[in-house]
Amino acid sequence: MQSQHSQSTRRSRGLEYVGELWQRREFAWFLGMGRLKARNASTALGLAWWALNPLLLAMVYFLVFGLIMNRASVGFLSYLMSGMFVFHFTAITMTGGANSILQNSKLLVNLRFPRLLLPLSNLVEGTVGFLASLGVLWAVSAAVDQVYPNSSVWLLVLILPVHLLFNLGLGSLVARLAVPFRDINNFVPYVTRLWLYLSPILWRPELLEGRAEWVVWLAEFNPMYSLITVYRAALLGYPMDWVEMGNSVLWALVIGVFGIGVFVKYEGRIARHL
């Protein structure tokens, strides 16, 4: 009986928390958009830098791996850019999650609101930039590789919400760790760089053929492997792999639920560490 009462209480608190998030949704939107504009307000190209950063990085890798090392094949630039843009969305959300609490310490100390709004505002910022970057991806792909959006673009309706949940969970988890462990801000860039090389961005899945089973398993266990595979089907018309779509959903549920849960459970003690 006591256990049922406890579960009912937790469920009631959870619904109340979600209700508070919904009531303050505009706060997350304006905070994220304000930060997005302020970040590039002093530059000539402004918000275009959100798309230019992964684009220029993709061009560097294309020059090194595609031209100098002569590994470029037909459609390689589109392949490289699609993976880079998707990865950049996750990487910048994770990096922003580490800073979302520390950079808003005054808000946390002086205002009462669901702390999850801060990782959410960071996700808003990243999502707007990511959606804008898709236009750049399609423009370059059409001009260089003659790759155009086709009927597969509807798959974005499936994969984007999954990606958002995954990013929110990851950003929330990093935000949770960044408060008591400030050194994580210095550690995250090395994690993202290693993660980039382990993801199918600079290399194709065919490279795994003939490799040891543990190597193949390790590569495919990477959540970005599944996400990027589905995105390439949506953005470039690659064959759809529904197994990878299922893996993406599973990763989003695990990381999303775990990351958000850990953050919400801890958020009442955040202010004492600031």
Give the span between the Cα atoms of 135 and 141, in whole angstroms.
Answer: 10
pLDDT in tens, 34-59: 776 666 655 555 566 666 777 777 77
Q: Is 98 exposed, middle or buried (0-12, 13-18, 19+ CB in 10 A)?
A: buried
- What is the secondary structure of 255-274 as a DSSP string? HHHHHHHHHHHHGGGSGGG-
Domain count along the chain: 1
Determine the Cα–Cα distance for residues 125 and 3; give it in Å rounded to an integer.
41
Domain that holds residue 222: 2-273
Kindly report the pTM of this predicted structure: 0.86
| 224 phi and psi angles, rounded to 5 deg | -70, -25
Range of 25-29, 137-141, 227-231 with top mean pLDDT: 227-231
Per-residue pLDDT of 219-239, as tens digits, reads: 889 999 999 999 999 999 899
Question: For the segment 54-96, what is each residue's pLDDT rounded down to a tens digit?
Answer: 777 777 777 777 666 556 666 788 888 899 889 999 998 888 8
Burial of 59 (0-12, 13-18, 19+ CB in 10 A): middle
Tell me the pLDDT of the chain averaged across its residues: 81
Query: What Å distances lie between residue 92 and 85, 97, 108, 115, 192, CA to CA?
Result: 10, 8, 22, 19, 9
With 0-12 / 13-18 / 19 or more C-beta atoms within 10 angstroms meaning exposed / middle / buried, residue 68 is: exposed
The answer to whether 91 and 195 are in contact (CB under 8 A) is yes
Contacts by 62-67, CB closer than 8 A, 24 or more apart: 65/202
